[in-house]
Structure 1
Amino acid sequence: MTISNIFRLASVLRGLKNGNVSQIEKFSSQIKGADHKALEKIRNIGISAHIDSGKTTLTERILFYTGRIDQMHEVKGKDNVGAVMDSMELERQRGITIQSAATYTIWKEHNINIIDTPGHVDFTVEVERALRVLDGAVLVLCAVGGVQSQTLTVNRQMKRYNVPCLAFINKLDRLGANPVRVIKQMRSKMNHNAAFLQLPMGLEKECHGILDLIEEKAIYFEGDYGDKIRYDEVPQDRRAEVKERRHELIEHLSNVDEALGEIFLEEKVPTIQDIKQAVRRTTLQKTFTPVLVGTALKNKGVQPLLDAVLEYLPHPGEVENTAILNENKDGEGQTIVLDPARSDSKPFVGLAFKLEVSKFGQLTYLRCYQGMLKRGENIFNARTGKKVKISRLVRMHSNNMEEVNEVMAGDIFALFGVDCASGDTFVNDGKLQLSMESIHVPDPVVSMSIKPKNNKDRDNFSKAVARFTKEDPTFQFRYDPDNKETIVSGMGELHLEIYAQRMEREYNCVVELGKPKVAFRETMMSPCTFDYLHKKQSGGAGQFARVSGIMEPLPPHQNTSLEFIDETIGTNVPKQFVPGVERGFLDTCLKGYLSGHKVSGVKFRLQDGAHHVVDSSELAFFLAAKGAVKEVFDDGAWQILEPIMFVEVVMPEEFHGTVIGQLNKRGGIITGTEGSEGWTTVYAEVPLNNMFGYAGELRSMTQGKGEFSMEYSRYSPCLPDVQEQLIRKYQEEMGIAPDQKKKKKN
């Protein structure tokens, strides 16, 4: 018996003292659950929804009713304990889920692996990697909020990974609950063929139970925690509504299921089994979405939802998973279907979908798709070819680990000490060149400068950054040599703020976040000649070098590069000194004289010069080139370039005008629009300097439904007022009076 089971047995015995006999039954079923079950007895599900729809509360209830935990706690409860799946202190403080958490439990002799995912759009990669390895999902909707922004995002993610789902309308006890409005939104906004399988008996404070439309029964949840279920007849005043909604359910199913469609057309009455089988078939084909109702907080509707998970969502054997055999550099190879049969006759294939650094080392979450894996065996990373010996196999219950000796196809488990990246495929045969489809990682949308407040914390800062960038592929870190600052990028301001707080809490490293600088450039507007003599005599060998030629602007498509051309003829400038001239030109261009930014888009043509037999050297020509560039700065016409970004905004049609107006306000040029199925995509080019804060603004003006991505397009001259502002700021930093005129070199 594992240590965790010993502790749970102790809590059960305490419960027996108080007369709680049901606890021992729950415990014994959990111990039996350690045995490997048949493939048909396994469900891998995720619980996904918009923020604050009740996902974590629902998971807490599921764990309680299945005997996994013996006490329920609220997400923001008065007892300050918090939900089991919110194991991070920050999650409990803020009352939100930041990291997806995995657990497993037993319900009616079925093994259910559950992943509770975050709802906030900033942590969307957690949902991506959970849905990549799950066979089915529960889409939770708030009975008041209905279909919200992140609901639409989660819906798109489910479509990406072909995940069938059940819908659960939660929070029937809230003021203003209206499940009928929610199902209408599911049909109109999400294009789901959805129908009720259950109806609520009363709403808000009057929510007493639910009505099962298929079996035409009333279900009451009694006892202190709603764990005593009582079935009864449908109340007289609700029978007509139940008949009507049941008929509506059969109609929706008949439209997408041939077998039930024939029964419907022949005007026969379908049996309970006919309807259930039709619901299962259409749910697996993703042509129908069953809608269940309840209130997790008030302990109503959770057990029937668990029954629906077993009845209507697929087991691992019903989902086709493929891998690419002998993949080449272009990602091409033979596609094979993996065999999910629970035996060791086929080679082991697993996918690493999540990394987490714990006090014991790196914890890697995997899903086993084929074969089996035993403790002590060796596995190989298909991408790197590295061999790893499995010393510990664990199954996760939030942040608690339970040791197992072996895992089989369909299981979700974790390993220690495996060096890999998120999305790597593992096999137990080093010769097997096999790889599974990786996880979609969205591009970061917000960047900020970051630095530790105290220099002595730099070591802890680097450790924190190394860990967080490995765990979360949407959290990216880079050093900007142009502006001499470190930049972090993520999915939103909250995303970066959470990581800054985690650095302080977990690594005792206080950091400062700020708006990053924009990498402006300086360039010439017209050609300018130069003829510069560098002469220095201070006793002994002196310095003598003369360079003459032309500096001119490069074409617009080359305005980020620098070019040096040696056009000298004869020996006026000896060839061994030409590299010195080039280095002098490039060195001076690292910092311009207008605003202190890099110089680019300039061609330096060295045409002539002069040297001295004794006093000339490479250093002298290096300094002469620097002086020549400074001379051209004083005499020539210069301008500042700014980076222009290609921006793509996706939002519902009704916000089309508002979004375009806002992009124009930010100095953007609209280059195109396209729309389909109620969504519009706008393409624009906007200066990067005007894009700061756009993520939050877009969410607020599209009710959180808009998304955008941007990538570098080109450098273009900035507006005169921006240029003036940059020059004035640089002059203030350098202590130059604004009215002080540039002195030209004689």
Structure 2
Amino acid sequence: MPLSLLSRYGRRRASACHGLNARNFYTSSSWLLQRQHATKHKHSILPQTSFWVRGLASAASDEIPDHIAKLRNIGISAHIDSGKTTLTERILFYTGRIREIHDVKGKDGVGAKMDSMDLEREKGITIQSAATYCSWGDHHINIIDTPGHVDFTIEVERALRVLDGAVLVLCGVAGVQSQSITVDRQMKRYNVPRLAFINKLDRAGANPWKVVGDLRQYLRLNAAAVQVPIGLEAEHKGVVDLIDRKAYVFAGERGEVVTEVPIEGGLEATVLSKRNEMIERLADVDDEIAELFLAETEVPPEVLRAAIRRQTLALAFVPVFMGSAFKNKGVQRLLDGVVDYLPNPSQVTNYALDLTQDEARVPVPCKENLPAVALAFKLEEGKFGQLTYMRVYQGTIKRGGWLFNMRNDKKVKVPRLVRMHSNELEEIESISAGDVCAMFGVDCSSMDSFTDGTVKYALTSMFVPAPVISLAVKPKQSAMFANFSKALQRFCKEDPTLQVAFNEKTKETVISGMGELHLEIYVERLKREYNVDCSVGNPNVNYRETIRKKANFNYLHKKQSGGQGQYARVVGYVEPLEEGEGEDGKEGGKEGGLGFEFVNKVVGTNIPPEYIPSCEKGARDAMEKGPLTGHPSQGVRVVLTDGTTHAVDSSDMAFRIAAAYAVREAMRAGQACILEPIMNLEVTSPTEFQGNIMGQLNRRMAVIQSNDVSEDGATVCIKADAPLAQMFGYSTDLRSITQGKGEFTMEYKTHLPVTRDIQEQLVKKYREASAGGGEDK
């Protein structure tokens, strides 16, 4: 073995070595001798890799029922237009769930099985996640096909919250795109093991090795190919399995004939090189493979397959599969990978909060003979009433049985249990631990926990991003108002990212969501499903406010009107929070939190301790409406240092009012500024339109971050940060300057200060509106 290779491996593993000097670990030749000795005598001098990462249960610890061991719950996620729904359609065909293949937005007008909504088939995109199930060999697979558009990211979020494994689909030409990064972040948030599938290798410019490099560079994944494609672009016809070193081609009208063929001479060198690369990547994280690798011993296929499964479950390795779903190639081998490398429900230990033990964290093992524990992760309005998708984590739920909703302790009966196949239903009598089903007639909200009543467990919810755009909507006819209210109530119950509020000043209903498309879809659904035609106002951007510098406050609230009055004095200061600080929301308030902190530095009892919570409530009241435009404030720390009280007139209400007014005045003095949402924009187009696109983005005040031309020079991918307020109508403009060939995705990134002239315009507009409404600001 070359010393450089041994040294490179040793440096990565030195921290894991016990009883060896880290310096000598990779320089001493005695280390290799020790490794070879360990291999020869079947023992290891390194600690074995822990398989309990993310609560992965040891399969050998308990006897697992066969039907649980052979169950897989997976989601299929990717950037928009990477081929998720097309891949799911092929999986259903090859597993016998459907008899014919229909393409997304196909010529026959039927559409893919998983796109059951008319809107989905018309637009050629997935809007709602859809569940189905199938069998591959003797294994049962539950599948959730998720949307790729960022506006419907909550559908991906809820799916990954309840699934055990996932397939990350990547375009063989574009590689890792903006929504690929978002989906990867969601998978990491819920510790979901994943396989990667490089799709569209039949397209011009396909380069799977660039995509593997993107996985390592942009997603920081220890990824390696477990297959090598046989031919690319128009010549793509199959794959070579690097584990068994066998080549497979896919023939027949629908790719249903899988034939093993000899590895052609031109591929032998590539297969050897990529197999060694895969083994080296595995050796970095798996001790058994490391011993064989350092001893330069041939790794048997069964040992390699077991190691890939171990490290995939431990989130330390991502096997990469290849093919073309549209051209019916590689899908069957991907199904083999799902069975071989993704966990069954018993191999993932989930946790709940015990409501009888002060919300203590307790494991929920996947066993049928324990009390039932389930989570309602998705709601949908069906022809028989509300359809509730359930993931059963423990115990068994039977038709006609009783469940208790842990949110309100309400007892509900289970009238019907069904398995979902897109929009088709199959009646079942019971559902057991580890499985996914749906129930009719159960009134609940998304992410409600259910038990059989013998335990009081609440399962943790999911992350819900904050909305970034709003629309004013109202029915065109007053007779439609009842259906309008009913529809919005249902939509909000189904989709946590959709928020509805009523503006008392303008007497308008305002809906807020994740993007223009998100809100357009709901307006269209109001018309189609509830026969409510709406008038739509201009979109409003959800601005925020903050301060630029520290400002002191010393405010006295004093009111006497006969009898007990109100008296409270609060002294302190406000200051801007640094990035990443703040108790509200993770990542410094970037993903839904407002980044606010209240600090009590009062010495002694100038303000009695019982009034401190009221001061904090008052400070939070001030955060709800900023001093400039009335938008919520963020990034502010309020520090209370002193105050005075009155023996008779001081009260909780007095201190709450005093704190609210004090903080508002201090924020004005602290150079309050307005923050606007900045979007992460990615535009893909033929190279010939590159100049026009960049010029248009500059006019919309976007900041270009990168400008990458594909290797064949045919397409360009422009990444930019753009203010949301400048991006309305961009879809139409992009189509017009690229002859309909350009496409873009947009995702919320952060809030940043607006320019001085825009701030003056917003403040002036707000004051005019306030004066017109007669409201004292």
Q: TM-score scaled by structure 2?
A: 0.66
Q: Which residue does 1:513 correspond to in 2?
A: 536
Q: Which residue does 1:336 correspond to in 2?
A: 362
Q: Tell me the distance in 1 between the aligned counterparts of 2:522 and 2:70.
A: 39
**Structure 1's 426 and 568: CA in aligned 2 closer, same or farther, altered over 3 A?**
closer
Deviation at residue 692 of structure 1 after TM alignment: 3.2
**Structure 1's 327 and 94: CA in aligned 2 closer, same or farther, altered over 3 A?**
farther
Deviation at residue 421 of structure 1 after TM alignment: 1.1
Q: Which residue does 1:447 correspond to in 2?
A: 470
Please say if 1:467 is aligned against 2:490. yes
Q: Tell me the distance in 1 between the aligned counterparts of 2:728 and 2:185.
A: 20
Letter in 2 for 1:408: S
Q: Which residue does 2:58 correspond to in 1?
A: none
**Structure 1 contact 445–709 (Cα < 8 Å) conserved:** no
SS of the residue corresponding to residue 290 of structure 1 reads strand
Matches within 5 A, 1:583-602: none
Matches within 5 A, 1:72-221: 72-221=101-250
1:411 pairs, out of 408, 432, 435, with: 435
Deviation at residue 327 of structure 1 after TM alignment: 5.8
Matches within 5 A, 1:2-401: 38-326=67-355, 332-341=358-367, 343=368, 345-401=369-425
Q: Tell me the distance in 1 between the aligned counterparts of 2:381 and 2:552.
A: 47
Q: Tell me the distance in 2 between the aligned counterparts of 1:409 and 1:251.
A: 38
Please say if 1:707 is aligned against 2:731. no
How far does the alpha carbon of each residue in 1:82-118 deviate from its partner, in whole angstroms, 9 at most, with x for none?
0010000000000000000000111111000000000
Please say if 1:692 is aligned against 2:750. no
Deviation at residue 382 of structure 1 after TM alignment: 1.3
**Structure 1 contact 446–695 (Cα < 8 Å) conserved:** no
**Structure 2 contact 681–745 (Cα < 8 Å) conserved:** no
Q: Which residue does 2:54 correspond to in 1?
A: none
**Structure 1's 457 and 703: CA in aligned 2 closer, same or farther, altered over 3 A?**
closer
SS of the residue corresponding to residue 725 of structure 2 reads coil
**Structure 1 contact 442–474 (Cα < 8 Å) conserved:** yes
Deviation at residue 337 of structure 1 after TM alignment: 1.1
**Structure 1 contact 443–709 (Cα < 8 Å) conserved:** no
How far does the alpha carbon of each residue in 1:150-207 deviate from its partner, in whole angstroms, 9 at most, with x for none?
1000000000000000000001111111111111111100001111111111111111
Q: Tell me the distance in 1 between the aligned counterparts of 2:532 and 2:295.
A: 72
**Structure 1's 709 and 56: CA in aligned 2 closer, same or farther, altered over 3 A?**
same
Please say if 1:494 is aligned against 2:517. yes
Q: Tell me the distance in 1 between the aligned counterparts of 2:763 and 2:353.
A: 53
SS of the residue corresponding to residue 692 of structure 1 reads helix
**Structure 1's 385 and 266: CA in aligned 2 closer, same or farther, altered over 3 A?**
same
SS of the residue corresponding to residue 104 of structure 2 reads coil
Q: Tell me the distance in 2 between the aligned counterparts of 1:164 and 1:470.
A: 29
Q: Which residue does 1:422 correspond to in 2?
A: 446
Please say if 1:456 is aligned against 2:482. no
Q: Tell me the distance in 2 between the aligned counterparts of 1:278 and 1:99.
A: 36
The answer to which of 134-143 and 443-452 deviates more is 443-452
Q: Tell me the distance in 1 between the aligned counterparts of 2:759 and 2:116.
A: 50
**Structure 2 contact 418–439 (Cα < 8 Å) conserved:** yes
**Structure 1 contact 446–491 (Cα < 8 Å) conserved:** yes
Q: Which residue does 2:652 correspond to in 1?
A: none
**Structure 1 contact 53–140 (Cα < 8 Å) conserved:** yes
**Structure 1's 649 and 727: CA in aligned 2 closer, same or farther, altered over 3 A?**
closer
Q: TM-score scaled by structure 1?
A: 0.69
- What residue ranges of structure 1 are gaps of 5+ in the alignment? 1-35, 521-554, 570-596, 599-638, 667-679, 735-746
Deviation at residue 373 of structure 1 after TM alignment: 1.2
How far does the alpha carbon of each residue in 1:298-328 deviate from its partner, in whole angstroms, 9 at most, with x for none?
1100000000000000000101111111267
**Structure 1 contact 483–517 (Cα < 8 Å) conserved:** no
Deviation at residue 237 of structure 1 after TM alignment: 1.5
How far does the alpha carbon of each residue in 1:716-742 deviate from its partner, in whole angstroms, 9 at most, with x for none?
9996666767788999x99xxxxxxxx
Deviation at residue 704 of structure 1 after TM alignment: 4.3
When Rg is computed on C-alpha atoms for both structures, the one with the higher figure is 1
How far does the alpha carbon of each residue in 1:456-475 deviate from its partner, in whole angstroms, 9 at most, with x for none?
22122112111111111111
Q: Which residue does 1:436 correspond to in 2?
A: 459
SS of the residue corresponding to residue 38 of structure 1 reads helix
**Structure 2 contact 79–149 (Cα < 8 Å) conserved:** yes
Q: Tell me the distance in 2 between the aligned counterparts of 1:337 and 1:513.
A: 48
The answer to which of 450-459 and 48-57 deviates more is 450-459
**Structure 1 contact 253–278 (Cα < 8 Å) conserved:** yes
**Structure 1's 717 and 73: CA in aligned 2 closer, same or farther, altered over 3 A?**
closer
Deviation at residue 251 of structure 1 after TM alignment: 0.4
SS of the residue corresponding to residue 465 of structure 1 reads helix
Letter in 1 for 2:519: L
Deviation at residue 454 of structure 1 after TM alignment: 2.1
Deviation at residue 512 of structure 1 after TM alignment: 2.2
Deviation at residue 448 of structure 1 after TM alignment: 1.3
Deviation at residue 228 of structure 1 after TM alignment: 1.1
**Structure 1 contact 327–435 (Cα < 8 Å) conserved:** no
**Structure 2 contact 541–725 (Cα < 8 Å) conserved:** no
**Structure 1's 652 and 254: CA in aligned 2 closer, same or farther, altered over 3 A?**
farther
**Structure 1's 348 and 228: CA in aligned 2 closer, same or farther, altered over 3 A?**
same
Q: How many residues align?
A: 560
**Structure 1 contact 45–137 (Cα < 8 Å) conserved:** yes
Q: Tell me the distance in 2 between the aligned counterparts of 1:443 and 1:106.
A: 38
Q: Tell me the distance in 2 between the aligned counterparts of 1:219 and 1:512.
A: 57
**Structure 1's 556 and 648: CA in aligned 2 closer, same or farther, altered over 3 A?**
farther
> RMSD value over aligned CA atoms?
3.9
Segments ≥4 residues shifted beyond 3 Å: 516-520, 555-559, 562-569, 642-653, 661-666, 690-698, 700-706, 708-711, 716-731
Deviation at residue 483 of structure 1 after TM alignment: 2.8
Q: Tell me the distance in 1 between the aligned counterparts of 2:223 and 2:437.
A: 33
**Structure 1 contact 193–288 (Cα < 8 Å) conserved:** yes
**Structure 2 contact 388–439 (Cα < 8 Å) conserved:** yes
Percent of aligned positions that are identical: 49
How far does the alpha carbon of each residue in 1:567-607 deviate from its partner, in whole angstroms, 9 at most, with x for none?
899xxxxxxxxxxxxxxxxxxxxxxxxxxx99xxxxxxxxx
Q: Tell me the distance in 2 between the aligned counterparts of 1:681 and 1:149.
A: 11
**Structure 2 contact 676–724 (Cα < 8 Å) conserved:** no
SS of the residue corresponding to residue 244 of structure 1 reads helix
Q: Tell me the distance in 2 between the aligned counterparts of 1:346 and 1:289.
A: 33
Q: Which residue does 2:588 correspond to in 1?
A: none
How far does the alpha carbon of each residue in 1:596-649 deviate from its partner, in whole angstroms, 9 at most, with x for none?
x99xxxxxxxxxxxxxxxxxxxxxxxxxxxxxxxxxxxxxxxx9xx99555676
- What residue ranges of structure 2 are gaps of 5+ in the alignment? 1-64, 544-550, 564-628, 631-667, 683-693, 703-718, 735-741
**Structure 2 contact 470–541 (Cα < 8 Å) conserved:** no
How far does the alpha carbon of each residue in 1:516-553 deviate from its partner, in whole angstroms, 9 at most, with x for none?
67999xxxxxxxxxxxxxxxxxxxxxxxxxxxxxxxxx
Q: Which residue does 2:10 correspond to in 1?
A: none
Matches within 5 A, 1:564-579: none
SS of the residue corresponding to residue 56 of structure 1 reads helix
SS of the residue corresponding to residue 281 of structure 2 reads helix
